[in-house]
Amino acid sequence: NWGTVLATLTGHTDSVTSSAFSPDGAVLVSGSFDNTLKVWDATNWGTVLAELTGHTATVYTSAFSPDGAVLVSGSFDNTLKVW
| Per-residue pLDDT tens digits of the chain, which is 83 residues long | 788 998 999 999 999 999 999 999 999 999 999 999 999 999 998 899 999 999 999 999 999 999 999 999 999 999 999 99
Indicate the pTM of the whole model: 0.91
Find out whether 39 and 22 touch, Cβ atoms under 8 Å.
no
Q: Which helix (H) or strand (E) holds 69?
A: none
**pLDDT (0 to 100) of residue 2:** 82
d(C-alpha 68, C-alpha 57), whole Å: 25
